[in-house]
C-alpha cells in the first residue's frame, strides 16, 4: 500500500489540554480522506501539525518518504503539502484569473514581474485557465473575486492551492458556509480534481453525509484521539462513532 503521509505517535498539548494525544495516521496516495469529529476533537490542530504551523511535542510526520517533522511551512509547500483554509483569503479586488496567476507566478518565483501585463506570460495565463477549468470557474475568469458566491470562493481558494502543484492538498472545511444546494457541486468538483490530477486530499469536514459519500477513507477523532479509521461503510458501524452521532 502506498502511503503519502504518515503521522507516528503525534502529541500536542496546550497546557493541560491534550489537543492531539498519540495520533497514528496513514493517508493513501491519490484518494480523498476525510476527518470527522466534534468541536475540540483536534482536527484542525492535526492539520496545523501536518502543515508545520504547529510543532508536535512528540512524534514524527513522514511525507513522501521524508521526515518533515521539523521542516518549516514554506519548505513543506515546496515539497508538495498545500492547504486551503476554512476562511478563504483571496485578492478580492482582482479578477479570478489574476488570483490564480499570482499563485503561479509565486511558484515560478516571478512575483517581481507582477507589474507586467499577464499577456507577457502566455504560459502562466494558459496554466491559470487550465486550473480554472478544473474548478469550474473558467467562465468567470474576468470577474472580481469579491463578486463570487461563497461556494465559488471556496473553489477559487482550492485553485490557489492547486497552482502550487501539490502532492497533498489539505482542505479545512471546504463546504463550510456554503449553501446546501452548492455543497454537492463543490464536493463533486473536488473529487474530480483528485481523480484527474492524482493529488491526494485530506479534508476536515463537518457534513457527515458528504464525507461518507465522497471519501475513500474516513477518520473520526474525539478528544485528541483517532477512534476509527477505514472505508466509510466500515467506520459508520463502529460503536464509538455511532455514539458520536456519525454512524448508523
- Could you give the domains of the chain? 1-80+167-248 (3.40.50.300), 88-165 (no CATH)
Q: How would DSSP label each residue in 117-186?
A: -GGG-HHHHHHHHHHHHHTT-GGGTTSBGGGS-HHHHHHHHHHHHHTT--SEEEEE-TTTT--HHHHHHH
At residue 5, the pLDDT reads: 98
pLDDT digits (tens, 9 = 90+) for 110-130: 765 555 656 667 899 999 999
Question: Residue 172 — very low, low, confident or very high, per pLDDT cuts 50/70/90?
Answer: confident
Name the strand (E) or helix (H) holding 3. strand 3-14
pLDDT digits (tens, 9 = 90+) for 69-88: 999 999 999 999 998 866 56
Question: Residue 32 — very low, low, confident or very high, per pLDDT cuts 50/70/90?
Answer: very high
pLDDT digits (tens, 9 = 90+) for 198-214: 899 999 988 899 999 99
183 touches 130 (CB < 8 A): no
pLDDT > 90 fraction of the chain, expressed in percent and rounded:
71
Question: Residue 151 — very low, low, confident or very high, per pLDDT cuts 50/70/90?
Answer: confident
At residue 45, the pLDDT reads: 95
Amino acid at each position: 500500500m502506498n502511503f503519502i503521509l504518515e503521522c507516528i505517535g503525534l502529541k500536542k498539548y496546550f497546557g493541560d489540554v491534550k489537543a492531539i494525544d498519540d495520533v497514528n495516521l496513514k493517508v493513501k496516495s491519490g484518494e480523498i480522506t476525510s476527518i470527522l469529529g466534534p468541536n475540540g476533537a483536534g482536527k484542525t490542530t492535526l492539520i496545523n501539525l501536518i502543515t508545520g504551523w504547529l510543532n508536535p511535542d512528540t512524534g514524527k510526520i513522514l511525507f513522501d518518504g521524508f521526515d518533515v517533522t521539523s521542516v518549516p511551512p514554506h519548505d513543506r509547500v515546496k515539497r508538495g503539502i498545500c492547504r486551503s483554509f476554512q476562511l478563504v483569503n483571496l485578492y478580492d479586488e482582482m479578477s479570478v484569473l489574476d488570483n490564480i496567476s499570482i499563485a503561479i507566478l509565486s511558484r515560478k518565483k516571478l512575483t517581481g514581474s507582477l507589474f507586467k501585463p499577464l499577456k507577457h506570460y502566455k504560459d502562466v495565463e494558459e496554466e491559470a485557465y487550465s486550473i480554472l477549468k478544473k474548478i469550474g470557474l473558467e467562465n468567470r475568469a474576468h470577474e472580481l473575486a469579491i463578486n463570487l458566491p461563497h461556494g465559488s470562493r471556496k473553489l477559487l481558494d482550492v485553485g490557489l492551492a492547486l497552482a502550487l502543484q501539490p502532492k497533498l492538498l489539505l482542505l479545512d472545511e471546504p463546504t463550510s458556509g456554503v449553501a446546501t444546494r452548492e455543497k454537492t457541486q463543490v464536493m463533486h468538483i473536488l473529487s474530480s480534481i483528485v481523480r484527474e490530477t492524482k493529488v491526494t486530499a485530506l479534508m476536515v469536514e463537518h457534513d457527515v453525509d458528504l464525507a461518507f459519500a465522497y471519501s475513500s477513507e474516513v477518520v473520526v477523532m474525539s478528544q485528541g484521539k483517532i477512534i476509527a479509521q477505514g472505508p466509510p461503510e466500515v467506520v459508520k458501524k463502529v460503536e464509538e462513532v455511532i455514539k458520536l452521532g456519525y454512524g448508523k
